[in-house]
Amino acid sequence: MRILLINSEFPPIGGGAGNASAHIAACMVAAGHEVTVITSKYRGLPWTETRDEIRIIRAPARRKRLDRSLPYEQISFILGGFLRALPVALRKRPEVTLAFFGMPSGAIALPLRLFLGIPYTISLRGGDVPGFRPYDFALYHRLSAPLLRRIWRRAGAVIANSRGLRAMAQRFERRVPIETIPNGVDPVAFRPPERDWGTVRILFVGRVVYQKGLDLLLHALGRLKDQPWTLTVVGDGPQREPLEILAEHLGIAGRVRFAGWLRGSDLIAAYHAANLFTYPSRHEGMPNAVLEAMASGLPVIATRIAGNEELVVEGETGLLVESENQQALEAALTALMADGSLRRQLGEAARDRVADRYPWDRITEEYLEILKRVSLDR
């Protein structure tokens, strides 16, 4: 098939959704399909390039940061992305479009469907679903709801990346059937090393924003100063400075390292250096970081929310705690800090679970089945 993939995030831009679209595109090419990507322009990146047989075309989007974007930047991507996608669609005649995020990518896929008859599939990722992160997105979702409904209703298929996100999407729009395909992981790249299970080395990977619950983690660790632990935070965001101040206030700043964004071998090395992964997030679709941690053989302490609870099996691959419950998080940390053999056992089971169920090639096969069906429903 000739597939047009649209995502404002594509490595090195963005986080989990960008990485997911890159892995899926690579697996599609490996399976013999032709993939063209429309994504955002960012300073220093070429307007067009071919990477591993994937044609990447970047659109003007006024994007100022690699890791996140503001609403006006997303709106600018709709216009710039459509102007870049239209000549590509006319020249290459893709058989189907895969749009990551209902907005902004779906707003580009919709007119391609209306004007050129190219069917499209929407991959919901979290922030594009009304009800997700209301403390950040309530106004945005209220304003975009009419267009979102139109985009979903004209799509050949709408896919959520977790059962919890699917349920949230169905509460917003009951007329559209929502399918589910989880995120994936590369079990070869993230295969576990031989690690020391003694002194506890905790890792968090993700955007440093309120959503991720790092304030709860620091408060919990502040009550465990008598335990020998260190914490590495991989990522960046607007909450970094307030969290650094909080760590200082709690008396744990010397044991908490904010490493910033790491990619490639540096990111893998961070997973390898840790022996416990924590993910106290308040809202998720399906977190790539948890999949990567499990593939790396790490036990996971995570909140019992959509995405996390589908990956982490309580008492088998890690521990789940209720969201916003600092005391429960402290208790889970205490339990695993005290038992290195238990951490090792949970980490080995975590590795087995994701390597069997979530490799990217298997996830891509599920996408391709839906895209083939949609392409035939012109």
Residues 174 and 237 in one domain: no
Q: How confident is the model at residue 278 (pLDDT cuts 50, 70, 90)?
A: very high
Residue 73: what pLDDT?
A: 81
Which residue has better confidence, 175 or 72? 175
Q: Which DSSP letter does residue 359 get?
A: B
Q: Is the pLDDT of residue 135 over 90?
A: no
Q: Greater confidence, 236 or 72?
A: 236
Q: Considering the domain boundaries, does residue 194 fall inside one?
A: no
**Band (301; pLDDT cuts 50, 70, 90):** very high
Kindly provide the b/e burial profile for residues 15-40, where b requires at least 16 CB atoms within 10 angstroms of the residue's own CB.
bbbbbbbbbbbbbbbeeebbbbbbbb
Which CB contacts under 8 angstroms, 24+ apart, belong to 324-329?
324/213, 324/216, 324/282, 326/216, 326/219, 326/220, 329/216, 329/217, 329/220, 329/278, 329/280, 329/301
Question: Which residue type, as a one-letter code, is found at position 164?
Answer: G
Do residue 28 and residue 120 come from a single domain? yes
In-domain check, residue 307 = yes
Q: What is the rounded distance in angstroms from the CA atom of residue 17 to the CA atom of residue 165?
A: 14
Domain at 178, CATH number: 3.40.50.2000
Q: Are residues 333 and 365 in the same domain?
A: no
Determine what percent of the chain is predicted with pLDDT higher than 70: 100
Q: What is the mean pLDDT of residues 274-284?
A: 95
Tokens of 88: 């590509």
Predicted confidence (pLDDT) at residue 68 exceeds the cutoff of 80: no
Number of folded domains in the chain? 2
SS3 259: strand
Contact status, residue 120 vs residue 97, Cβ threshold 8 Å: yes
* Residue at 365: amino acid letter: E
d(CA 163, CA 306): 7
pLDDT exceeds cutoff 80 at 375: yes
For position 343, what pLDDT does the model report?
A: 97
Q: What is the pLDDT of residue 377?
A: 77
Q: Calculate the alpha carbon distances from 26 to 22, 64, 96, 163 in Å.
A: 6, 27, 17, 25
* 260 located within any domain: yes
Same domain as 208, residue 98: no
Above 90 in pLDDT, residue 314? yes
Residue with tokens 């089945």: 369
Is residue 189 included in any domain, yes or no? no
Q: How confident is the model at residue 71 (pLDDT cuts 50, 70, 90)?
A: confident
The string of pLDDT tens digits covering residues 320-347 is 999 999 999 999 999 999 999 999 999 9
* In the predicted structure, residue 239 carries a pLDDT above the cut 70: yes
38 part of a folded domain: yes
Which residues on adjacent β-strands are paired with residue 359?
Answer: 185
Separation of alpha carbons 8 and 27, rounded Å: 19
Predicted confidence (pLDDT) per residue in 143-160, tens digit: 889 999 999 999 999 999
Is residue 138 domain-shared with residue 218, that is, in the same domain?
A: no
Asked if residue 146 has a cis previous peptide bond (ω within 30° of 0), the answer is no
Q: pLDDT-based confidence at 316, cuts 50/70/90?
A: very high
**Mean pLDDT across the chain, nearest whole number?**
94
**pLDDT at residue 335 in the model:** 96
Q: What is the mean pLDDT of residues 54-76?
A: 84
31/94 same-domain check: yes
d(CA 156, CA 94): 15
User: pTM here?
Assistant: 0.90
**Residue 217: per-residue pLDDT:** 97
CA–CA separation, 240 vs 332, rounded Å?
Answer: 24
Calculate mean pLDDT across residues 17-30. Answer: 95
Sheet holding 96-100, edge to edge: 48-51, 54-59, 34-40, 2-6, 96-100, 120-124, 157-160, 178-180
Report which DSSP code applies to 131: T
Q: Name the band, by pLDDT with cuts 50, 70 and 90, for residue 354.
A: very high
Let me know whether 103 and 243 are in one domain.
no
pLDDT in tens, 186-234: 999 999 999 999 999 999 999 999 999 999 999 999 999 999 999 999 9
- Residue 323's φ and ψ, nearest 5 degrees, are -60, 140
What residues have CB less than 8 Å from 122, skipping those under 6 apart? 99, 101, 102, 105, 106, 109, 151, 152, 155, 157, 158, 159
- Note down the domain range covering 30: 2-184+359-375
Residues 156 and 246 in one domain: no
Q: State pLDDT tens for residues 257-270.
A: 999 999 889 999 99
